[in-house]
Chain A
Amino acid sequence: MLPCVLLCGEIEYVQDEFKEMFHGIAEVVHLVSESRSHFLSSFEPDGPYEGTVALYRRNTSSKVIGKFDAPLIHALADTSKVRWIAQNGSGYDEIDVQACKERGILVSNTPRANEDATATTTLYLMISCLRHFSMAERSLRSGTWKTPCDAAQTHDVTGRTLGILGLGGIGLRFAHLAHAFPMRIVYFSRRKAESVPDWCEYVSSVEELCKQADVLSLHVPLNQSTAGMIGEKEIRTLRRGSVLLNTSRGRIVDQEAMIRALEDGHLSSVGLDVYPDEPRVDPRLLTFPQCTLLPHIGGESAESWRTRELQALGNLKAFVLGGIGEDIVPELKTGIGNSAIL
């Protein structure tokens, strides 16, 4: 009898490839639960998810069954044979990886799959904020042509200093695109990155990064140590008139501190693709016309969707076939020797 894989979230772009990938390898079960309690009780014998060894997960599933927090992970470990969660997306902050570590469940994500798309979105936000293009588009569509845009408030991209917090795949890709102008690139990472171009200048602290940057862009994952790491102190260390960009996770920034800085003009604008409590957007953000606000579409293109789905499914399949997949999240990599194998 074939093992089961459960889709917590639908496949949208690669349905044909998906069918082919798992044909003869696993039974595919779809999430039919309409509540968390139903979900948790459905892995038992005769339940709809009986026999599931691995999950494909999208963040959209949290609307129905909630996030994969510690209680859910423990319940999964207690009631099911699930030992692999293949997250679609590079961000896996909705999964409690510590609980997974405790219970021997591995988690993979899809790094790299939306690096290019997300870096492109960050570039867009930067140009839009520096040049007030978002405001200009709205002003045109409202019938006032350029009024009230004021060229005196806007700047060229070329020659300005871009500060990157977190020089991982997305941060480095964004740096590359910005360097074409060129911008001066400075960065801070927990570790000084090894294979980094010589035009990426390392600075030794977040504070130093904020001192140097005209534009500060966030490219760290959300976890306990990064939540709220850009707060009142960091924002006030930026020079007056600076621009803040966030295509990572909303909760990395103290939103109240950010809004105060917009109100008094310390930040000239912000370019955001993410918010602390999506899909809710704090209405005060809409009152600053020079800001550029996107609805978390950073990695969303037809091409990156396909890549992400194929990558997550590939990890799922590799686990089902051989007991281990790729793209294990960093927090769980050291535990590989203890992983459960079919």
Chain B
Amino acid sequence: MSPRQPRILICGSALAGNLVWAHEEARQFFDGLADLVVMDSPNRADFLVGLKSGGKYDQIVGIYRHNTSADRIGVFDEEIIDALAETGTVKWIAHNGAGYDQIDVSRCANKGISVSNTPGAVDDATATTALYLVISCLRNYAWAEQSLRQGTFKSGLDPGRAHDVTGRTLGILGLGGIGLRLAHLVHAFPMRVVYYSRNKSANAPEWCEYIDSLEGLCRESDVLSLHVPLRDETVHLVGEKEIRVMKKGSIIVNTARGKVIDEEAMIRALEDGHLSSVGLDVYPNEPLVNPRLLEFPQNVLLPHMGTENQDSQRHMEVRALTNLRDFLRDGQGNDLIPELRSKL
């Protein structure tokens, strides 16, 4: 009998053994490196019991985590991080997703647990989603589709409210991987691209104009698209003040996290027409959607589809598993999150 290998926990959705696409890759990556254990707890209590010495998740050294696991065991808050730390063996959480606001990363830092995410793998699919929202808001396509399906074809639609994409100004808040990819896609029309980031981006092409304040960005944008992660300092980053500085008739697109916008301020601005429409893929309290958003036929509302397609989902799983494998093999995964980089 071979010596007992380290164990890694696959902590995803309840379907299909927790990985959706990358079963073959998982087998290949960890063959001879680690045993895979599937997290099958129906609730948090069962999960915490399983982590204890002698429990079903005993001797786990690394975890593959997907946000869908929160449906059963909740987010990786202080309680769970502490329980993981207490095992003495868990040292790496490989998160599947670019946004890791569901993990208490400062607690992880405190307890010596590393966290990786999957930047890059989400960029194309999320930027494509943002592009769709930008185009649809400017041209009122959502309204038009609703009108057709209600049997009124195009009567009732006002072409004067629909605008070309070409020549309008896209303001990008946060020029990371996704923001940069969106910039590239709209540059094909071209839209004029302006951006604001905490730091001026070294990678930005010369046609991406840096603006040195959020207020300045709002003033210049016909369409403002949000691409910042959710952290304490980005909650309600776009609020009443920022929205009112935008031109009348402007559009906000959000594929980042719902809480980055002050939803009440946004709805007020829709009600008085200051914002002509919003394109959203995320909401403060998913899957709940504020019903008032539905009252505006010109709003384009997607149910967090950002990376929902089989091609990107496969990339993301593989990326997260790669981080986990590299941790096991080399002691470190590539996509260690920024907050933890300075600690090493």
Question: For the complex, is B117 an interface residue (Cβ under 8 Å from A)?
Answer: no
Q: Which residues of B contact A295 (CB under 8 A)?
A: 144, 147-148, 153-154, 157
Asked if B165 contacts A120 (CB within 8 A), the reply is: yes
CA distance A120 to B154 in the complex (A): 18
Chain B residue, CB-CB nearest to A130: B309
* A145-193 contacts to B (CB < 8 Å): 145-146, 149, 151-159, 176-177, 179-181
Q: Which residues of A contact B165 (CB under 8 A)?
A: 120
Asked if B144 contacts A124 (CB within 8 A), the reply is: no
* B139-189 contacts to A (CB < 8 Å): 139, 141-142, 144-145, 147-149, 153-155, 157, 159-166, 184-185, 187-189
Asked if A123 contacts B163 (CB within 8 A), the reply is: no
Asked if B148 contacts A293 (CB within 8 A), the reply is: yes
Question: For the complex, is A14 an interface residue (Cβ under 8 Å from B)?
Answer: no
Asked if B301 contacts A146 (CB within 8 A), the reply is: no
Asked if B308 contacts A301 (CB within 8 A), the reply is: no
Kindly name the residue among A136, A153, A292 whose own CB sees the greatest number of chain B CB atoms within 10 A. Answer: A136
Q: Which residues of A contact B144 (CB under 8 A)?
A: 294-295, 297
Asked if A154 contacts B310 (CB within 8 A), the reply is: yes
Question: For the complex, is A17 an interface residue (Cβ under 8 Å from B)?
Answer: no
Query: Which of B45-53, B80-88, B130-138, B223-231 is found at the contact surface with chain A?
Result: B130-138
* B216-250 contacts to A (CB < 8 Å): none
Asked if A116 contacts B166 (CB within 8 A), the reply is: yes
Min C-beta distance of A153 to chain B, whole Å: 8
| Cross-interface CB contact of A286 among B135, B149, B184, B185, cutoff 8 Å | B149
CA distance A158 to B129 in the complex (A): 13
CA distance A159 to B305 in the complex (A): 20
Asked if A120 contacts B161 (CB within 8 A), the reply is: no
CA distance A130 to B308 in the complex (A): 11
Asked if A140 contacts B301 (CB within 8 A), the reply is: yes
Min C-beta distance of A9 to chain B, whole Å: 14
Min C-beta distance of B187 to chain A, whole Å: 7
Asked if B305 contacts A136 (CB within 8 A), the reply is: yes
Asked if B149 contacts A127 (CB within 8 A), the reply is: no
Q: Which residues of B contact A149 (CB under 8 A)?
A: 303, 305, 308
Min C-beta distance of A220 to chain B, whole Å: 23
Given A145-B287, A149-B305, A151-B308, do A13 and B145 touch, yes or no (CB 8 Å)? no
Asked if B157 contacts A297 (CB within 8 A), the reply is: yes
| Cross-interface CB contact of B139 among A121, A145, A154, A293, cutoff 8 Å | A121
Asked if A151 contacts B289 (CB within 8 A), the reply is: no
| Cross-interface CB contact of A157 among B128, B166, B184, cutoff 8 Å | B128
| Cross-interface CB contact of B154 among A145, A286, A296, A305, cutoff 8 Å | A296
Question: For the complex, is B33 an interface residue (Cβ under 8 Å from A)?
Answer: no
Asked if B303 contacts A139 (CB within 8 A), the reply is: yes
Question: For the complex, is A131 an interface residue (Cβ under 8 Å from B)?
Answer: yes
Binding site for B on A (CB under 8 A): 13, 116-117, 120-121, 123-124, 127-128, 130-131, 133-134, 136-141, 145-146, 149, 151-159, 176-177, 179-181, 278-279, 281, 286, 292-297, 300-305
Some 25 contacts from A to B, beta carbons below 8 A apart, are A120-B135, A121-B141, A124-B135, A130-B309, A131-B132, A133-B302, A136-B303, A146-B303, A149-B305, A152-B310, A153-B310, A156-B309, A177-B189, A181-B124, A279-B154, A279-B155, A293-B145, A293-B148, A295-B154, A295-B157, A297-B139, A297-B159, A300-B157, A301-B159, A305-B159
Given contact pairs A155-B311, A158-B124, A159-B311, a sample of 15 additional A-B residue pairs in the complex whose CB atoms are under 8 Å apart: A120-B139, A124-B135, A124-B139, A131-B132, A137-B145, A141-B301, A177-B189, A179-B188, A279-B154, A293-B148, A294-B144, A294-B145, A297-B157, A300-B159, A302-B159
